[in-house]
Homo-oligomer: A and B are copies of this chain.
């Protein structure tokens, strides 16, 4: 089962659900041409279908191998990566002064979904490179940029992010890797990092590791962490590759999924220390990492969307092909395709509606990020940055939860065939499972949403978003379209619940933080369920207004309605859970430790 990028759904989500058209009209995107972006996405979809999708199962079955300090990827992968980079896909949103195409991050977000959907383990590699590009571009010296940025943007070299150590996972401040000043402006690094994605591989000529480490005189905790660029091969003055640096893969993990993506233990300093170059200032490494974090988290959210879309397409095809049993009102003589059964339709609609909502939330985050960098007006930029900051944890956590739920429904629709690996449905479920964990677990996203996003400026970013969403609901009501069913009512109730819950949590944040923290996860779900319903309704209205531009518009109305009536409807219960549940959670020790 292959994958085809759903360009029409994507364009509707991007232009209308995520607000790209509005931002372009407002002038925030300069002379950006929407027609060009549609062509770019079509081309990305073709590459994904033709080259990446067929390698997805090959990668899952072959995995990666570590021998003689080198990681070998699955057959066909190095060639596919080179073709992908040569076609310019790594450079889509890269800065033009270093060879990038300078397209909006929103366009690259759609591409990221496409790479993830066709081959999640493959798509991870450029996600990491993108993080390295951003950190280097924002904080690196001119010399470092001149040497490394062009090759990273072209994709000739790839990047890694090296934070995690055995004792330092979610708590980055606990890391111990050491960096000594070498006296010549460079540093010598030693230590061990774990869970390093694409820490070594054979797909590119060089790897640019971005490593967090401590100087000998650094303060404890996150204020004593510095960021270093540590190349796999040192780069000579003329740009050619020199000596092998003292950073090696010393182990690879045997994982539940994304088998083709090497997850490495990296050892530095067994031979005198890895040569590193400081990025930014000493002891200011965490600030540099935060630069990468918003986009890395958005990238993981898009993995959730991509894997959900892939699982949906596969389940839909299976449900149309597999004949079994008969529908209650079947006209034919033989067995019907299982898609005739209402319960199978329900699962497929659930998959599609949840995927669509997650997609638009992610794209909206990307548009807000774009505007926060591109708009001419400082207030517009500031508001967009606050919007992007607010949406990021929802984009990451809600979308990756959905990735798992949708992949599991995909297995279910396949019945017994879904549990057999050869079908491929199970791989999506295995692959999807990492996304709620890495780049900050979804619990950490929920705490971030609560404490740093709702908890900033009296929740101003939340209230501003709610005002926009209320306007969408008014437009649904004004449409008087009976096909919307209970959509407006569900969305209105959802927004009211979200507003009350936000106020309750904001109050508790000051007075009883543990009460608020106990409700962080259901709060994020409440936010996603309500926001998702509103953006889908907005898209449905736009599709109606657009005539036939996105195909028959009624299907987007049905999808929005299904989401509102099946997902947003849970808002009231989630509100009560947030408000009621602190007592039991704060008294949980008596249950758990009895």
Which A residues are closer than 8 A to B by beta carbons? 164, 167, 169-171, 174, 194-195, 253-257, 316, 320, 323-326, 328-329, 335, 339, 341-349, 352, 404, 408, 411-412, 415-416, 418-422, 426, 429-430, 433-434, 436-438, 441-443, 446-447, 485-486, 513-514, 517-518, 520-522, 551-552, 554-555, 558-559, 561-562, 565-566, 569-570, 572-573, 576-577, 580-594
Pick the residue among B422, B561, B582, B590 that contacts A555 (CB under 8 A). Answer: B590
> Of all chain B residues, which has the CB nearest A408?
B404
Are A514 and B342 neighbours in the complex by a CB distance under 8 Å? yes
Are A569 and B576 neighbours in the complex by a CB distance under 8 Å? yes
Are B415 and A437 neighbours in the complex by a CB distance under 8 Å? yes
Are B416 and A324 neighbours in the complex by a CB distance under 8 Å? no
Are B420 and A588 neighbours in the complex by a CB distance under 8 Å? no
B residues within 8 A CB of A437?
411-412, 415-416, 418-419
Are A591 and B352 neighbours in the complex by a CB distance under 8 Å? yes
B residues within 8 A CB of A344?
443
Are A573 and B576 neighbours in the complex by a CB distance under 8 Å? no
| CA of A329 to CA of B517, assembled, Å | 12
Are A588 and B256 neighbours in the complex by a CB distance under 8 Å? no
Chain B nearest CB from A539 CB (Å) reads 13
- With A174-B324, A194-B416, A569-B573 given, name 4 new contacts (CB 8 A): A167-B323, A169-B415, A170-B325, A566-B581
B residues within 8 A CB of A316?
592
Are B592 and A349 neighbours in the complex by a CB distance under 8 Å? yes
B residues within 8 A CB of A576?
486, 565, 569
| CA of A346 to CA of B433, assembled, Å | 20
B residues within 8 A CB of A584?
349, 485, 558, 561-562, 565
Are A419 and B446 neighbours in the complex by a CB distance under 8 Å? no
Pick the residue among B342, B518, B570, B581 that contacts A573 (CB under 8 A). Answer: B570
| CA of A517 to CA of B342, assembled, Å | 6
Listed A/B pairs (29) with beta-carbon separation below 8 Å: A167-B323, A171-B335, A195-B416, A254-B422, A255-B421, A320-B593, A328-B513, A339-B592, A342-B517, A342-B582, A343-B443, A344-B443, A345-B588, A345-B592, A346-B521, A349-B588, A352-B592, A411-B433, A412-B442, A426-B433, A429-B433, A486-B576, A551-B594, A555-B594, A558-B590, A558-B591, A562-B581, A565-B576, A569-B576
Q: Which A-B residue pairs are the 3 nearest by beta carbons? A: A256-B426, A342-B518, A343-B443
B residues within 8 A CB of A559?
591
Chain B nearest CB from A432 CB (Å) reads 10
| CA of A233 to CA of B102, assembled, Å | 72
| CA of A177 to CA of B167, assembled, Å | 58
Given A339-B592, A343-B447, A518-B345: A569 and B577 interface contact (C-beta under 8 Å): yes
A-side interface mostly: helix
B residues within 8 A CB of A324?
167, 169-171, 174
Chain B nearest CB from A488 CB (Å) reads 13
Chain B nearest CB from A587 CB (Å) reads 6
Chain B nearest CB from A12 CB (Å) reads 12
| CA of A593 to CA of B412, assembled, Å | 20
B residues within 8 A CB of A573?
569-570, 572-573
| CA of A471 to CA of B349, assembled, Å | 38
| CA of A513 to CA of B415, assembled, Å | 23
| CA of A401 to CA of B20, assembled, Å | 39
| CA of A554 to CA of B587, assembled, Å | 10
Pick the residue among B256, B342, B404, B517 that contacts A430 (CB under 8 A). Answer: B256
Q: Which of A418, A518, A520, A573 has the most CB of B within 10 A?
A: A573
> Of all chain B residues, which has the CB nearest A344?
B443
| CA of A521 to CA of B341, assembled, Å | 12
| CA of A572 to CA of B418, assembled, Å | 32
B residues within 8 A CB of A569?
573, 576-577, 580
B residues within 8 A CB of A590?
552, 554-555, 558
Q: Which of A349, A486, A521 has the most CB of B within 10 A?
A: A349
Chain B nearest CB from A427 CB (Å) reads 9
Given A256-B430, A328-B517, A420-B254: A565 and B591 interface contact (C-beta under 8 Å): no
Are A419 and B441 neighbours in the complex by a CB distance under 8 Å? no
Are A346 and B585 neighbours in the complex by a CB distance under 8 Å? yes
> Of all chain B residues, which has the CB nearest A253?
B420
Given A486-B580, A591-B559: A256 and B419 interface contact (C-beta under 8 Å): yes
Given A171-B324, A437-B412: A256 and B421 interface contact (C-beta under 8 Å): yes
| CA of A569 to CA of B592, assembled, Å | 22
| CA of A194 to CA of B420, assembled, Å | 12
Are A514 and B591 neighbours in the complex by a CB distance under 8 Å? no
> Of all chain B residues, which has the CB nearest A529?
B573
B residues within 8 A CB of A325?
170-171
| CA of A561 to CA of B422, assembled, Å | 43
Q: Which of A347, A434, A580 has the most CB of B within 10 A?
A: A580
B residues within 8 A CB of A255?
419-421, 426
> Of all chain B residues, which has the CB nearest A319?
B592
| CA of A589 to CA of B41, assembled, Å | 27
| CA of A589 to CA of B551, assembled, Å | 14
Are B514 and A328 neighbours in the complex by a CB distance under 8 Å? yes
B residues within 8 A CB of A585?
342, 345-346, 349, 562
Chain B nearest CB from A461 CB (Å) reads 22
